[in-house]
């Protein structure tokens, strides 16, 4: 069995040079990057990416859980007719040092197209944890996911706080997300 340390993607992300010649670029946030903005940015705008949906299918061994009892955090999974609302941040490449460390538990930089409310489109970077990383937990019933989230705690705090903050942030954006809001309802019932 692979250890969670093998999920560390920092070096792989730092080797990515797709945006190396850019002085500014867009970063798309769909999870904690929406509400926990601990990095400098030039501007932020609500945005949408198409062909992806948010799912609590990634394990968190380093922030919202532990190696023995991982929490669950969101990643994106491909879905042809889906769209994901989030927040786009215009950043400079020096922010990657912090972001690559923050998103190191299985997340890789992926280039996507973001669309803004005015119809403008831009290339952006997004961190996605795919099913081939050792921390990936994959699908489970909503009840099982909510129970795992309800009991997990890690260095960054309660896993339930991650879900509740995300649900609030999505409401603030006017974004509907049946998966997140369904888990929130179950979590609140569990107490």
Active site residues: 103
Shortest CA distance to 95 belongs to which of 150, 146, 42? 42
Question: Please, what sign has the CA dihedral across residues 18, 20, 23, 26?
Answer: positive
Question: Please, what sign has the CA dihedral across residues 110, 93, 174, 164?
Answer: positive
Residues 115 and 18: their CA atoms lie apart, in Å, by 20
Q: Where are the alpha helices (DSSP H) in 4-86?
A: 10-14, 32-35
């Amino acid at each position: 069995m692979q250890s969670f340390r093998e999920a560390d993607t920092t070096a792989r992300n730092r080797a990515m040079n797709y945006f190396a010649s850019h002085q500014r670029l867009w970063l798309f946030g769909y999870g904690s990057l929406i509400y926990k903005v601990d990095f400098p940015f030039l501007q932020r705008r609500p945005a949408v990416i198409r062909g992806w949906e948010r799912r609590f299918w990634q394990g968190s061994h380093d922030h919202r859980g532990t190696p023995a009892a991982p929490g669950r955090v969101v990643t994106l999974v491909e879905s042809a007719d889906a769209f994901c609302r989030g927040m786009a941040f215009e950043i400079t490449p020096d922010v990657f040092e912090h972001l690559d460390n923050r998103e190191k538990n299985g997340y890789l930089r992926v280039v996507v197209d973001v669309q803004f409310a005015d119809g403008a489109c831009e290339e952006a970077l997004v961190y996605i944890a795919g099913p081939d990383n050792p921390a990936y937990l994959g699908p489970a019933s909503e009840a099982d996911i909510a129970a795992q989230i309800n009991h997990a705690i890690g260095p960054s705090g309660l896993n339930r706080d991650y879900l509740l903050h995300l649900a609030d942030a999505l409401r603030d954006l006017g974004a509907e997300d049946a998966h997140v809001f369904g888990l929130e309802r179950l979590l609140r019932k569990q107490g």
